[in-house]
Each structure stands twice: as structure tokens, then as C-alpha cells.
Amino acid sequence: MDTDDARDDPDQSEWDDLTALDFSSTADDEPALSLDALDIYGAEHGEVDNAEPIPLISASNPTGTVTVQAYLNGLTHRVELAPGTATMSETQLAEEICVIADVAAKKATSALYFVMAEVLTAQGIPRETAETFLQNNMPYATPPQARAAEVALAARYANGQE
């Protein structure tokens, strides 16, 4: 039944229920709707350009079976597992990933700490004042803290904890 016929037939309840939801075009010469009009909003209007690589910091256990990549803010980007991790229990693997992720996060945030300290000193702030500000107000690990995390990881393996 044609929709025009449905409108003329008052007994046709289908008109009320379904025809109101029919948004299809009836004219063949009517242009199709397009989102091409939105093309004016390109890269200059906030579109992300992924040409620049995002800096990542990695940490691995000494055996190389678990590697964690972290963004500079310390968030984990990727965890890579070698086939050797298949012999580990879930608990052991989870603990290993957490330990390596913590080291990666400290290394990453310490890199950001270093850059921020350099920026502040370039602006004329004394180095000691800049570092005190960063230590008290920012959630970054200091470079010595990052090195200490790496040393603790190495000591963990030297003591036989894998």
C-alpha cells in the first residue's frame, strides 16, 4: 500500500504508527544528504594530527619477559609479554607487571620532572626553587627516585625473586 493511500484511508492505523517514522525521500531528483559540509572543520579546528610520535618510556625485567611502556604522565601505554610468561601463575604475572609498570611510571614521570625543571630554570627560577616546587606540587618522580626504582628491580632479581 502506498503511503498516500494510507493517508487517505482513516481505518489505516499503520499511517499513524509507522509512516511518521519514514524519513526516506520520495522524489528521485532530490539530492542525497551529505556530511561534506562539515569538511570545513579540519586540522586547524582541533583535529588531532598523529604525525608526531608520542614519547614513551619503557621498563623491562632483567629477563626481558615483561616490558611496560608508559606515557610521560606515568600512565601505562602497553604491556608486552614474552612467551616465557606462559609458565608463570596469574598471581606471579600480575605482580611482575605491577612492579615493572611502577618502574616505567617512575622513569617516565622523572623525565617530565627533568624537562619541567629545565623549563622553570630557563624562565629564571633558581634550580633549587624549581625542584622544590616540583617535588611539593607535582606528582612526578625525581630522577634519583627513578634510578632507585631501577636498582630495586635489579636487586629483586639478584635476590632470586622473579
Residue 56 CB burial class (10 angstroms; 0-12, 13-18, ≥19)? middle
Beta bridge partners of 79: 68
Reported as type and span, the H/E element at residue 2 is none
Selected residue with higher pLDDT from 119 and 40: 119
In whole angstroms, give the CA distance from residue 111 to residue 142. Answer: 8
pLDDT digits (tens, 9 = 90+) for 33-61: 555 555 555 555 555 556 678 899 999 99
- Domains of the chain and any CATH numbers: 3-45 (no CATH), 56-158 (3.30.1310)
The pTM of this model reads: 0.65
Instruction: Using the predicted structure, report yes or no on whether residue 157 has a pLDDT greater than 90.
Output: no
In whole angstroms, give the CA distance from residue 62 to residue 86. Answer: 17
